[in-house]
Copies of this chain bind each other. A is one copy, B any other.
Amino acid sequence: MERIKPRTLSGFMELLPGKQMQFERMVDILRTTYGLYGFAPLDTPAIEDAQILLAKGGGETEKQIYRFQKGDSDLALRFDLTVPLAKYVALHYNDLAFPFRRFQISKVYRGERAQRGRFREFYQADIDVIGDGKLDILNEAEIPAIIYRVFTGFGLSRFQIRVNNRKILNGFYAMQALQEQSGDVMRTVDKLEKIGPENVRKILTVDLSIPEEKADAVLKFISIQGTNAEVLTALEGYRGNNELFDKGLDELQAVTKNLSAFGVPEDNFAVDLTIARGLDYYTGTVYETTLLDHPEIGSVCSGGRYDDLAGYYTDRPLPGVGISIGLTRLFYVLDEQGLLNPALPSAPADVLILPMTEDLAPAISLAESLRSNGIRVQLYGEQKKFKQKMSYADKLGVPFVILLGEDELMQGKCTVKNMVSGQQVLLTAEEAADHIFAGKYAGPVILEK
C-alpha cells in the first residue's frame, strides 16, 4: 500500500492527551462560570452563507476568511462568534427572551499567515447580553465580576481588569474639538505604554498637526491615574462641558460603584483611560484584562458595550455587551511560559486495574463498582509481563493502580497502590473508592510563579 506521511496543518493546534486534559479543564471552568451568570450555551454552525458572514465586508476579514463553493452555494467558515450571534438573534428574534444572554465556546477560522503562536483554527469563549432596544448599565457592571471569577477559577490572582468608557473618550475629544481626528488620536494614545508620552506628543503635534495645547490636554487626560476614586474625582473636573462625556462618566460610576458587592477586589480592577478597543463598534464601557506578570501577552479577555449588534440583518436596535477570550492562544502562551500546573493529573483514568486471575469477573465487577462511584477506571487486559504493565501505568500517569489477585479475592479486598508514594493498602471496593477520591489532586489549572 502506498503510504502518505501523516501531518497536521500548520496553524492548527493538536494537543497530546495530557495537554488536552488541561485545556478541557479551562473549558469546563469557563462553561461553569458563564453558566453561573445565567448565560445559555449556544452552538451555531461553523459554516455559514458567505454573503451573511461578509455582510459587513471589507478589510482583513475578507482576505483571511476560508470561503468556498459547494454546488451552487457560496460558503464560508465563521471567523468570529459575533457575526453568527448577530445572525442568530435577528433570525430567531421572536423565539428569544430579551435580555438574551448566551455563551459560546467554539472554534473560529482565519487563514492568517502562519507564525509562531498564531492560529488559523482557534477557540473563542464569548459571552454577550443582548437587549431589545435598551439594555441596563447593570449588565456592563456585571462583566468584571464574570472576568474575575473566570480568572480566579483558572488559579490566577495577578491579573487586572481594565475598564474605560467610549463615551468619556468621545466626549473628551469633542470638548477639544478633536472629534474629526479622534480615531487617529486614540490609535496614537493606545501606543502610550509602548513608545512613551514624548513620542505620543510628537505624533500628535507633527504627524496629526494637532495644536500643542490640545496635544498637552490629551496627554494630561490620559495620564490620569490612581485608585478608582482618584480617577473618578479627576474626571469629575471635566464634567459639565459635554453631554456625552457626562453620560459616560455616569456609566463609569455605575460600573465601579458596586465592585465590592460583585466581589471584585480593587487590586484586580483599574479604570484606564488609555483603553479604547479600536473598533468603532463599541459605544460604552470597554474592557481589557492583562496578566500583571506577563504584560507581553497583551489583553487576554476583551470586549465592551455596543449599540447595534445586527444592523446588517434587521432594523431592530439590538444593543449589547460582551467579552471574548481567545482560548487557544491563551492556552498556548500559558503553556509556553510554563504556567500550566504540572501537578495536575494528566492521565485519562484515576486508577488502572490489573487483574491477576484467570477469571476476569471480579476485576470487571470492581471496575464497574468504582465507576458507579464516579472514579475513572481503566481495566487492563493486555497479556504482558507485570513490569510492562506497571511501566504502562507510569507512562499514562495514573495516580493509582489496583492489583487484584487470588490473595485479595479471598479476603474480598484489593491492593491499591499509590503510584507517587509507592504506598500499598489492602481495601474493600468501597474503601478503595474513598481512598482514590481522597487522593485526587484539586489544585488550579494555572500556577503563578
Residues in chain A within 8 A of chain B (CB atoms): 1, 3-9, 12-17, 20-21, 23-24, 35-49, 51-52, 55, 66-71, 73, 75, 86-88, 90-92, 95-102, 107, 109, 111, 120-121, 131, 134-139, 142, 145, 149, 258, 260-263, 310-315, 348-349, 352, 360-362, 364-365, 368, 371, 374-379, 381-383, 392, 395-396
Contact = CB atoms under 8 A, between A and B. Distances in A.
Nearest to A104: B20
A396 B378 CA distance: 41
B6 A313 contact: yes
A94 to B, nearest CB: 11
A154 to B, nearest CB: 17
A20 B1 contact: no
Contacts of A90: 6
Nearest to A262: B364
Contacts of A52: 4, 6-7
A395 to B, nearest CB: 4
- Interface-centre pick from A6, A41, A48, A67 (highest chain B CB count, 10 A): A6
A313 B47 contact: no
A91 B38 CA distance: 41
A3 B314 contact: yes
A97 B392 contact: yes
Contacts of A314: 3, 6
Q: How many chain copies?
A: 2
A136 B4 contact: no
B46 A376 contact: no
A37 B43 CA distance: 27
Contacts of A3: 311-315
A286 to B, nearest CB: 19
B41 A145 contact: no
A5 to B, nearest CB: 7
A32 to B, nearest CB: 9
A196 to B, nearest CB: 39
A134 B36 CA distance: 46
Given A49-B7, A379-B142, A96 B365 contact: no
23 contacts: A1-B312, A3-B312, A4-B312, A5-B313, A6-B87, A6-B313, A8-B87, A8-B91, A13-B45, A17-B40, A17-B100, A20-B41, A20-B42, A20-B43, A47-B66, A70-B111, A97-B396, A101-B378, A134-B382, A134-B383, A258-B360, A258-B361, A261-B365
A63 B167 CA distance: 53
Contacts of A66: 47, 68, 70, 75
B379 A36 contact: no
Contacts of A107: 46
Contact of A43 (B23, B71, B134): B23
B48 A9 contact: yes
Contacts of A378: 37-38, 101
A1 B149 CA distance: 39
A101 B375 CA distance: 16
